[in-house]
A and B are shown apart, each in its own frame.
Chain A
Amino acid sequence: EADIYQTPRYLVIGTGKKITLECSQTMGHDKMYWYQQDPGMELHLIHYSYGVNSTEKGDLSSESTVSRIRTEHFPLTLESARPSHTSQYLCASSEVGTSGSFGEETQYFGPGTRLLVL
């Protein structure tokens, strides 16, 4: 069973506030990801990391930033929240499958943070 945690689960905040969404995993995975998902829509990758001090932007442009100082921790920060940031944010980590092949990795997701910016 995957052990990946996200806090808070729900957050309602006013425009202009700085927020940090926490994500931690206890599986020792090097690779971690942040996705953004609106209701009924597909998941969009916004950030990923291949290990400590490694971060890259994903497929969907995002005003958020991430950091990876420790293997188990991958927080996402919005310096100034806006209503357009209202969404669900999902964190994931991954491990490579038994073949060791590049494409056989399996991603494990946290429960998500639902953000509402007023």
Chain B
Amino acid sequence: DAKTTQPNSMESNEEEPVHLPCNHSTISGTDYIHWYRQLPSQGPEYVIHGLTSNVNNRMASLAIAEDRKSSTLILHRATLRDAAVYYCTRPRGSTLGRLYFGRGTQLTVWP
């Protein structure tokens, strides 16, 4: 089953780190893990992606477990603008572009 599992919601205080977990236990060896986030009244936006090793960019870090069955999106210092729904996605089947999005994790950031 090409699904991912994420907590429905998480909370953080501003300026604190946030670790958003995702389980993808049935992922294949060649499936990339992508994270997107959706701000209110907007379409999802790309955050980061990776295959096996940890990845960093200006928005976040992605830590991928050695067995690739889970990953964690890390926001190093949460801001109020980071409040969004975060989706961990993986390919659904072998057709290009068919991603499983799930319901994601609603992140609330408190001032």
A105 in the interface (beta carbon within 8 A) = yes
B93-106 vs A, Cβ < 8 Å mask (1 yes, 0 no):
00011110111100
Q: Which of B31-77 contact A (CB under 8 A)?
A: 31-32, 34, 36, 41-46, 49, 51
Q: Is A45 a contact of B98 with CB atoms below 8 Å?
A: yes
Chain A residues with CB below 8 A from B46, complex form: 106-108
Known: A101-B30, A103-B31, A106-B49. A90 touches B96 (CB 8 A): no
Q: Which of A3-57 contact B (CB under 8 A)?
A: 6, 31, 33, 35, 40-43, 45, 48, 50
Size of B's binding interface in residues, CB under 8 A: 24
Q: Is B103 a contact of A110 with CB atoms below 8 Å?
A: no
Size of A's binding interface in residues, CB under 8 A: 31
Chain B residues with CB below 8 A from A75, complex form: none
Interface residues of B (CB under 8 A from A): 30-32, 34, 36, 41-46, 49, 51, 87, 91-92, 96-99, 101-104
